């Protein structure tokens, strides 16, 4: 028996490509893209509903959704190139070039490159059988630190300079310093098996420079189930690497330390030219964290890994300075 979800995705994808290729001008193309890929689009509704499928059906539907999104993106890029060429030809024919004139084609706009990266990552993980989870950006001490095996005065707190919020007891409420608090929140409300990915914005009291921002974005994955091993962690990272970066890329793990995982590791991505890029941290979920989330660590094990989306997006596009993602210079933003 076929998967009704994949059939629906295929139909919606074909209709979306037809809608895009039929756009008469750039404004119509922008409207078409918003209609077929926006948060209120039928495809977005199908994506949100995948969490209700069983694991095999969700994985199959996620893979089809990845392919359909790629078809839509390529159709949009081809149609945009055709329409922009027509606009340029019309201007040249009229022999008019006024650099101070407002250009209509500059008003179309598109998603920021970090948002593009976040949505691409979500699609990859959904294709691997994960669901997307979210949590608050203003957190209490328990979820941000103590429940993650980082009690008061633990040295690991020095690794995350914190913005405290003037709510509750002094020092008890913070702008979250990582997306890991959502691990606890998911475990508190959902019994295993748990396969979630958590994207979001985080905050640290750091000076801005080429490699640091006070507000940035992370994504992490959490798996909790019976019989989960470090081998599952390594295999999942390798599968993600190939799915997101493509063939020719690989991964490796290096021993490290994080208070909420044991054992812990850093993971690197191997580029096709043989060089390595440090991407993020990972490890087996610490038994104390499982217990704090209301899960029996004698029965269940799990793993987690995460990395920065901003640095990943910049590395992918060859931008050397992290501060460029805050730029409002359209000459930069229009390149992506």
SS (H, E, C) 44-61: HHHHHHHHHCCHHHHHHH
Provide mean pLDDT across the span 265-275. 88
Q: How far apart are CA 138 and CA 135, in angstroms?
A: 9
Tell me how far CA of residue 244 lies from CA of 45, 117, 121, in angstroms: 23, 10, 7
Concatenating the DSSP letter of every residue in 266-327 gives EEEEE-TTS-EEEEEEEEEEPHHHHHHTT--TTT-EEEEEEEEHHHHHHHHHT---GGGGG-
Our CA angle for 123, 128, 133, nearest 5°, is 60
pLDDT at 194 (0 to 100): 96
- Express each pLDDT in 289-330 by its tens digit: 999 999 999 999 999 999 888 877 776 767 777 777 777 666
**Element housing 250 (H / E):** strand 250-258
105 and 176 co-located in one domain: no
Which of the listed residues 44, 74, 109 is the one where a domain comes to its end?
A: 109
Question: What per-residue confidence (pLDDT) applies to 293?
Answer: 95
86-89, long-range: CB < 8 A, 24+ apart: 87/26
Asked if residue 135 and residue 103 are part of one domain, the reply reads: no
Same structural domain, 100 and 191: no
CA atoms within 13 A on the CB side of 55: 6
CB 130 within 8 A of CB 61: no
CB environment 270-287: b (16+ within 10 A), e (fewer): beeeeeeeebbbbbbbbb
pLDDT at 193: 95
Structural domain contains residue 242 = yes
Average pLDDT value for the chain: 84
Q: Is 155 left (phi over 0), alpha (psi -120 to 50) or beta?
A: alpha
Across 119-138, b (16+ Cβ under 10 Å) vs e yields ebbbbbbbbbbbbbbebeee
Across the range 40-62, mean pLDDT stands at 80
Average pLDDT over residues 201-205: 87
Both tokens assigned to 94: 């009229």
Is residue 73 domain-resident?
yes
Residue 167 falls within a domain, yes or no?
Answer: yes
Residue 118 lies in a domain: no
**Same domain membership, residue 150 and residue 100:** no
Same domain for 201 and 249, yes or no, is yes
Angle, CA of 214, 219 and 220, to the nearest 5°: 125
| CA–CA gap between residue 296 and residue 316 (Å, rounded) | 40
Residues 85 and 162 in one domain: no
Say what the pLDDT of residue 335 is.
Answer: 66
Q: Which residues pair with 268 in a beta bridge?
A: 252, 278
Q: For 65-76, what is the mean pLDDT?
A: 86
Considering the domain boundaries, does residue 126 fall inside one? no
Q: Do 137 and 193 belong together in one domain?
A: yes
3-class SS at 114?
helix
Q: Which helix (H) or strand (E) holds 236?
A: helix 230-245
Distance CA 299, CA 317 (A): 43
Tell me, yes or no, whether 186 and 282 share the same domain: yes
pLDDT for position 96: 56
pLDDT score recorded for residue 1 = 45
Instruction: Name the residue range of residue 32's domain.
Output: 4-109
CA 208/CA 1 separation, integer angstroms: 55
Do 81 and 222 have their domain in common?
Answer: no
Higher pLDDT among residues 179 and 162, named by residue: 179
- Which residues make beta-bridge pairs with 283? 264, 304
Residues 99 and 155 in one domain: no
Please give the tally of structural domains in the chain. 2
On the question of pLDDT at 33 being above 60, the answer is yes
Based on the fold, state whether residues 145 and 244 are members of the same structural domain.
Answer: yes
Statement: residue 229 has pLDDT above 80: yes
């Amino acid at each position: 028996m076929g998967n009704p979800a994949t059939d629906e995705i295929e139909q919606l994808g074909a209709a979306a490509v037809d809608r895009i290729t039929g756009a008469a001008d750039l404004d119509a193309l922008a409207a078409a893209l918003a209609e077929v890929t926006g948060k209120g689009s039928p495809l977005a509704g199908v994506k949100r509903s995948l969490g209700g499928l069983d694991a095999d059906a969700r994985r199959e539907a996620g893979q089809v959704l990845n392919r359909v999104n790629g078809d839509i993106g390529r159709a949009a890029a081809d149609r945009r190139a055709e329409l922009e060429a027509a606009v340029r030809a019309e201007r040249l024919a009229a022999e008019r070039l006024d650099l101070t004139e407002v250009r209509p084609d500059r008003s179309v706009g598109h998603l920021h490159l970090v948002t593009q990266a976040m949505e691409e990552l979500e699609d990859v993980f959904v294709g691997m059988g994960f669901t997307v989870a979210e949590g608050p950006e203003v957190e209490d001490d328990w979820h941000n630190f103590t429940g993650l095996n980082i009690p008061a005065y633990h040295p690991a707190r020095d690794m995350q300079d914190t913005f405290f919020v003037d709510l509750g007891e002094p020092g008890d409420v913070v702008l979250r310093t990582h997306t890991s608090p959502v691990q606890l929140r998911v475990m508190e409300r959902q019994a295993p098996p748990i396969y979630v990915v958590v994207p979001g914005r985080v905050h640290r009291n750091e000076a801005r420079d080429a490699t640091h921002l006070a507000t940035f974005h992370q994504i992490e994955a959490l798996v909790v189930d019976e019989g989960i091993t470090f081998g599952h962690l390594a295999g999942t990272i390798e599968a993600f690497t190939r799915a997101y970066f493509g063939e020719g890329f690989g991964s490796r793990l290096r021993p490290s330390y994080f208070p909420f995982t044991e054992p812990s590791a850093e993971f690197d991505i191997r580029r096709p030219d043989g060089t390595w890029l440090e991407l993020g941290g990972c490890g087996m979920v610490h038994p104390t964290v499982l217990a704090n989330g209301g899960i029996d660590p004698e029965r269940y094990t799990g793993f987690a890994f995460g990395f920065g989306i901003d640095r990943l997006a910049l590395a992918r596009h060859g931008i050397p300075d992290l501060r460029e993602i805050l730029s409002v210079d359209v000459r930069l933003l229009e390149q992506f």
